[in-house]
Structure 1
Amino acid sequence: MRSLLLILSNPRYFGPSWIFASVNIWFGTWAIYIPSVKEKLGIDKADLGIALFCLSLGVFTIFPMASKLINKIGVGKASWIGVMCVSVAAMLPLMAPNYYLLMGGLYLFGAGTGFTDIAINTLVTEIEKEDKVNFMSAAHGFFSLGGILVGLGSFLIPVIGSPVLHMGITVVLVFFINLYFSKHYINVVAAPAEKEPFSLRLFKPLLLLGIIGFICYACEGAIVDWSALYLQEVVLAPEMLIGAGFLAFSVTMTLGRFLGDGISSRIGPIKLVGLGALIAAFGYVLILTQHTTWSIIGFAFNGLGFSVIVPELFRIGGNVKGVDSSQGVAFIAGSGYLGFLLGPVVLGFIAESTSLTYSFSVLLGCILTVLAITFFLRRKRK
């Protein structure tokens, strides 16, 4: 919790952390109105799926060029530009009068979100280097906090009565908070890395980190999409507890991220990734008991374990010797997003051909692979 107090007591750290929360507030507000947009435009599920793919396409389109843009503009200014772009882009999908403009709006929303994601992770990495502090994990905790704020804001849906008005109010409030704090980070620039010629020695650590990111994002995506169905069809949990797995996962995810920085400063980021993988693996063991209480507790352990892994990956990736921090962050972000998109899909195919229980067994095997990779990274570092 020390890093949380650090963020709340210093605007230099609160500003970047609030951008994390902002991204999830904007994205979550759009997400709660997806059914309304589908009904307004008269599109079916297949059309909606293609439109949502445009969102992902926007994210991936910006990744290859993001690090160069961030280095050219300056990471502080790039983060602020990202905030301004996403503030505008968040309005476009809800204002779209037809299906094609919906796809275009989602593409721009995805591109803006992807650019901002890389910029703010790089920004936090650079501030940590300059100030010799750790707050990456707590900053990611603010992302989770943004989701909680969206959930609370959803109670205003009947009162506001308009998706565009709801998003407009949200954008204005969130934007002006960002505007107030932007002066505390806008002049931060990335320290130039000592460039080295491309070699497998440089690429291997990034590749391994990318594999970990792919697996962990895939596991998170699988839990988001499949936890309720697992509790319903496999565990045969009561109807009122079907959403309890995801709730437990979300709560411990938020809590773990506010605790992660202090632990990381004591044992180091690679050990913390290994510890997170071990905790998540124990969670999967509990889930596979197919007992309602133990399975829900298992999802809670999943959230606690995964909460510390992703922030540490960005911290490690932003400090790889011979690689610009923005390039390291972009590589891990790209690998992670790919896993988040493909993981639930692959899990669905496995579940269809075998069973959902077998799918979660595969996830257990994947997180044990992460644990094995951390042992290799620790040995190489020594």
Structure 2
Amino acid sequence: MFFMTGLCFASWASRIATIQQKLALTDAALGGVLFALPVGLMLSLPFSGWAVTKFGSKTLLTIALIMYGVFLIGLGSVTQPYQLILCLVLFGFAGNATNISVNTQAVATEKVYKKPIMASFHGLWSLAGFAGAAIGTLMIGQNILPAAHFMFIATLTLITVIICRQYLHNDNSTGDTGPAFVIPDRSLVGLGIIAFCSMICEGAMFDWSVIYFKKIVLAEKAWVAAGYTAFMSTMATGRFIADWFAHKFGLKRTLQLSGTLTTIGLLIAVLFPVLPAAIGGFMLVGFGVSSVVPMIYSAAAKSKTMQPGAAIAAVSTISFAGFLIGPPVIGFLAGAFTLRVSFIFIALMGASVVVLVSRAKLD
């Protein structure tokens, strides 16, 4: 389920440049359109909080992931900017519902294993991003339209849900819904803000890496997705070793190193916009963001004031907002200044992770 969630989003990310060209959108206009994603996120908050309590994360995940694939098809079929905006709202709505429910399932699974495995789940999400980038590159190379590309991904998603649903934790509600939304305490908000800053960096990499390599690095067509691929490769690798690293060196040091690598990688890509240096910089960013979100989610699940599912949903919602808000902000900054300048803003978000983690009470 984590893999297919990542594959749906990565498929959209891999064709943003194609859809931008199809609709003749400027960078600033694209940034405005991308704000539809966080709008969908915000609209889904009360619904997802109510639904995961009323029906359970198993039911919500089943429905939301299927709809995620359906709305992906819509994104590939648009012919007007207003249609793209509407589909992005629905895509963001389904994406947040999927994100909350799949992480709630992961918390329950981690309890069964009785050891940290959250990062590995997110590693599968990252592997899906790598696979989505590879499939997207193949589709672009074969001149396959986004609509056909996305229909293929949606079909795979439906098949996966049908096969895997029986293995999910059956946490369906017995009728006591409780409050639809619970305000997280100060410690959880702090964790959410740390993840928020990191997810701004991650979201920008998804939506703008190909465009950055095309317009700033001036990479040839065969290499425009190289930065995105490098980023996804190291992010996936980092997540599969994050649990071991955090156990050996501690959560705080792990997160401080993560923010530092993110900042350094982005500055390298900005200061040296040539192919080898930019690829190396994006690889560092991948390592940097890899451990932040899964480590923060795992820490949130240990909250003493909220149930694990509610805590992970609260922090997940805050962090996912950064994932969606970051890309449109980059678009506006690129329109007002340059795309290189906008990437300095992302570097500042990486530095913010280091500062916030250093001041937080972790471990």
TM-score of the superposed pair, with normalisation by structure 1: 0.75
Counterparts of residues 73-152 of structure 1 (less than 5 Å): 73-94=55-76, 103-152=85-134
Aligned counterpart, 1:320: 303
Distance in 2, Cα, partners of 1:161 & 1:353: 33
Deviates more, 1:310-319 or 1:350-359: 350-359
Aligned counterpart, 1:208: 190
Cα displacement string for residues 197-255 of structure 1 (whole angstroms, at most 9, x for unaligned residues):
x99xx722122222212211222234445556766777x67657665443322221121
Counterparts of residues 355-370 of structure 1 (less than 5 Å): 359-370=342-353
Contact 1:63–1:330 (Cα < 8 Å) also in 2: no
CA 1:91 to 1:226, structure 2 compared with 1: closer, same or farther past 3 Å? closer
Cα displacement string for residues 45-74 of structure 1 (whole angstroms, at most 9, x for unaligned residues):
278766654443222211233233212222
2:51 aligned to 69, 74, 80, which one? 69
- Displacement of 1:139 in angstroms is 1.4
* Secondary structure, counterpart of 1:321 in structure 2: coil
- Displacement of 1:107 in angstroms is 2.9
Aligned counterpart, 2:8: 26
- Displacement of 1:347 in angstroms is 4.7
Say yes or no: does 1:290 pair with 2:272. yes
Distance in 2, Cα, partners of 1:348 & 1:39: 15
Contact 2:2–2:124 (Cα < 8 Å) also in 1: yes
Gaps of 5+ in 1: 1-18
Contact 1:135–1:261 (Cα < 8 Å) also in 2: yes
Say yes or no: does 1:306 pair with 2:289. yes
Contact 1:67–1:326 (Cα < 8 Å) also in 2: no
CA 1:262 to 1:179, structure 2 compared with 1: closer, same or farther past 3 Å? farther
Letter in 2 for 1:45: L
1:179 aligned to 147, 162, 173, which one? 162
CA 1:80 to 1:267, structure 2 compared with 1: closer, same or farther past 3 Å? farther
CA 1:244 to 1:159, structure 2 compared with 1: closer, same or farther past 3 Å? closer
Counterparts of residues 153-232 of structure 1 (less than 5 Å): 153-154=135-136, 155-156=138-139, 163-188=146-171, 203-224=185-206
Number of aligned residue pairs: 352
Distance in 2, Cα, partners of 1:243 & 1:55: 22
Matched-pair identity in %: 26
- Displacement of 1:349 in angstroms is 5.6
* Secondary structure, counterpart of 2:115 in structure 1: coil
Letter in 2 for 1:151: A
Letter in 2 for 1:367: G
Distance in 2, Cα, partners of 1:44 & 1:366: 30
- Displacement of 1:167 in angstroms is 3.3
TM-score of the superposed pair, with normalisation by structure 2: 0.78
CA 1:71 to 1:272, structure 2 compared with 1: closer, same or farther past 3 Å? farther
Distance in 2, Cα, partners of 1:58 & 1:264: 34
Aligned counterpart, 2:248: 266
Distance in 2, Cα, partners of 1:68 & 1:325: 16
CA 1:68 to 1:100, structure 2 compared with 1: closer, same or farther past 3 Å? same
CA 1:57 to 1:352, structure 2 compared with 1: closer, same or farther past 3 Å? closer
Distance in 2, Cα, partners of 1:221 & 1:289: 21
> How large is the Cα RMSD of the aligned pairs?
3.9
1:334 aligned to 312, 317, 328, which one? 317
Say yes or no: does 1:45 pair with 2:25. yes
Larger radius of gyration: 1
Letter in 1 for 2:105: L
Distance in 2, Cα, partners of 1:245 & 1:271: 27
Letter in 2 for 1:251: S
Gaps of 5+ in 2: none
Distance in 2, Cα, partners of 1:308 & 1:297: 19
Contact 1:89–1:105 (Cα < 8 Å) also in 2: yes
Contact 1:276–1:305 (Cα < 8 Å) also in 2: yes
